Amino acid sequence: MPRPAILRFAAQVLACAAVAVHAQAPPPDFRQWVAIEKDGVHDPRGPAVQSLQQPREALQPLAPDGAGNQVRWVEALRQGQINPRPRLHGTQPLEVRDTEIYLNLRGGTPIVKFPHLAHTQWLACANCHEGLFRKEVGTSGLDMRRILQGEQCGVCHGAVSFPLTECNKCHNTSRIGFHAPDGTPQGARAALVVPPSSTAAAR
Amino acid sequence: MKRARALWLPLMFIAAIASLPAAHAEYADVVLNKHAEAEGVRPVVFPHWFHRVRFRCAVCHDELGFKMRAGSNEVTMKDIVDGKFCGGCHNGDIAWSPDRCDLCHSGKPGLKSGIYGGHHSTGPGYW
């Protein structure tokens, strides 16, 4: 092999290796958090800014997201990155429920698949029922205009859980090829999905 | 020359605005100032993110009785010292005790009560 050909071959091998290494590297993390002494709510002249934990320190190790705290809280819990205490005094564990509810079946935007599981891992039943939402499927009168005004789902989503700019996190199920679960009445707005392995009683 | 100055002035104005420090609280930070400043202490800054790492929502919003709407809870120091609201944990046992005033009363003077934090759009309501 003439010399220039050898050099070219070596360069090609190196380039391939570089591509392979790059493909294995984790994606770059561009998230930034404002330090508390600069966040506009803490008094930078007060003593607390010296002692309080910085958001970057607590949140950077957690599953990344592009909005809110820039953390996928449900995913961080699932992966065991955090293990927040579920109860203070009570020995009763949180009542986990794994049924899902299809919502917005008659709307125009994609269907909402609401997971009870992700919500009941954090919240108690009484946080939503029967105040914010009724237990009976399809009777809560969900309305995007009210949600945008901070009611219904908007009590949390837009204030503390992922914000309402993330449409497709809730509107996550395409209408194309969608079939409502068996037993859903014609023209229903919502339908209950009970996973085959579920221990929850079907309602 | 005149034209150059006409161009530079707005440019400098834009640069001055762009170089202002971006001040925005972490998403879902809550400021409590119903009583604090009237009583002569800084407003309280409650960071949701800090507590979410350590506690699930139900601890405060079910067991401790915090209603889930900013401004709807009447939190007084007397209650906290008696072990209610923040005092459920801030008792020197689970978290620092209520005599560490400055750690909670850490807000900028003059802030209004409510939910603060970035990633809000300019849309209607509380978006």
Place of tokens 């009870």: A116
Question: Which residues of chain A make contact with B123, given a CB cutoff of 8 A?
Answer: 148, 164
Question: Do the Cβ atoms of A34 and B42 come within 8 Å?
Answer: no
Q: Is the distance from CB of B93 to CB of A88 less than 8 angstroms? A: no
Give the mean model confidence (pLDDT) for residues B91-103: 97
pLDDT in tens, A55-103: 999 999 999 998 999 999 999 999 999 999 999 987 788 999 999 999 9
Residue B89: closest C-alpha in chain A: A88
User: Band of the pLDDT at B16, cuts 50, 70, 90?
Assistant: low
Which 84-113 residues of chain A touch chain B by CB within 8 A?
A: 84-90, 94
Tell me whether A53 touches chain B (CB under 8 Å): yes
Print burial letters for B42-79: b (CB count within 10 Å at least 16), e (below 16): bbbbbbbbbbbbebbbbbbbbbbebebebeebebebee
Q: Does the structure show a pLDDT above 90 at B30?
A: yes
Residue A111 or residue B6, greater confidence: A111
Question: Do the Cβ atoms of B115 and A155 come within 8 Å?
Answer: no
- Rounded percentage of chain B residues whose pLDDT exceeds 70: 77
Question: Which residues of chain A make contact with B106, given a CB cutoff of 8 A?
Answer: 42-43, 46, 48-49, 52
Q: What pLDDT does residue B1 have?
A: 56
Question: Do the Cβ atoms of A68 and B47 come within 8 Å?
Answer: no
Q: Are strands A191-193 and A100-103 parallel, antiparallel or unpaired?
A: antiparallel
Of A51, A59, A88, nearest to B49 by CB-CB distance is: A59
Q: What pLDDT does residue A86 have?
A: 95
Torsion B115-B121-B125-B127 (CA) sign: negative
Tell me whether B47 touches chain A (CB under 8 Å): yes
A and B: number of Cβ contacts within 8 A: 158
Q: What pLDDT does residue B21 have?
A: 44
Burial class (CB in 10 A: 0-12, 13-18, 19+), B107: buried
Dist CA B73 CA B12 (whole Å): 46
Q: What pLDDT does residue A202 have?
A: 43
Dist CA A93 CA B62 (whole Å): 13
Which parts of chain A sit beneath pLDDT 70? 1-2, 21-22, 198-203
Q: What pLDDT does residue B3 have?
A: 67
Tell me whether A59 touches chain B (CB under 8 Å): yes
Question: Which residues of chain B make contact with A163, given a CB cutoff of 8 A?
Answer: 27, 119-121, 127
* Domain edges within chain A: 58-86, 100-193
Mutation pick from A33, A38, A42 vs chain B, by most beta carbons of B within 10 Å, is A42
Q: Does the structure show a pLDDT above 80 at B124?
A: no
Q: Can you read off the two tokens belonging to residue B46?
A: 């409650």
Average confidence score pLDDT of chain B: 85
Q: DSSP secondary structure string, A85-115? A: BS-SS--SPP-----EEEE-TTSSSPBEEEE
Helix-, strand-, coil-residue percentages of chain B, each rounded to 5:
35, 10, 50
Q: What angle do CA A134, A136, A140 make, to 5 degrees?
A: 45
Fold of B29-115: Cytochrome C3 (3.90.10)
Run of H or E residues at A4: helix A3-24
Q: Does the structure show a pLDDT above 60 at B18?
A: no
Dist CA B55 CA A153 (whole Å): 21
Q: What pLDDT does residue B118 have?
A: 55
User: Band of the pLDDT at B2, cuts 50, 70, 90?
Assistant: low
Please list the alpha-helical segments (H only) found in chain B.
2-18, 48-54, 57-58, 77-81, 101-104
Question: Do the Cβ atoms of B27 and A160 come within 8 Å?
Answer: yes
Question: Which residues of chain B make contact with A53, given a CB cutoff of 8 A?
Answer: 50
Q: Of the given ranges (A175-179, A199-203, B47-51, B66-70), which has the lowest mean pLDDT?
A: A199-203
Determine the CATH number of domain A100-193: 3.90.10.10
Run of H or E residues at A77: helix A73-78
Question: Which residues of chain A make contact with B115, given a CB cutoff of 8 A?
Answer: 159-160
| Residue B31 β-bridge partners | B45, B114
Question: Do the Cβ atoms of B26 and A124 come within 8 Å?
Answer: no
Q: What pLDDT does residue B105 have?
A: 98
Cβ contacts of B11 within 8 Å, gap of 6 or more: none
User: Band of the pLDDT at B111, cuts 50, 70, 90?
Assistant: very high
Q: What pLDDT does residue B123 have?
A: 45
Side-chain half-sphere exposure of A165, counting CA atoms within 13 A: 15
Q: What pLDDT does residue B71 have?
A: 82
Radius of gyration of chain B measured on its C-alpha atoms: 20
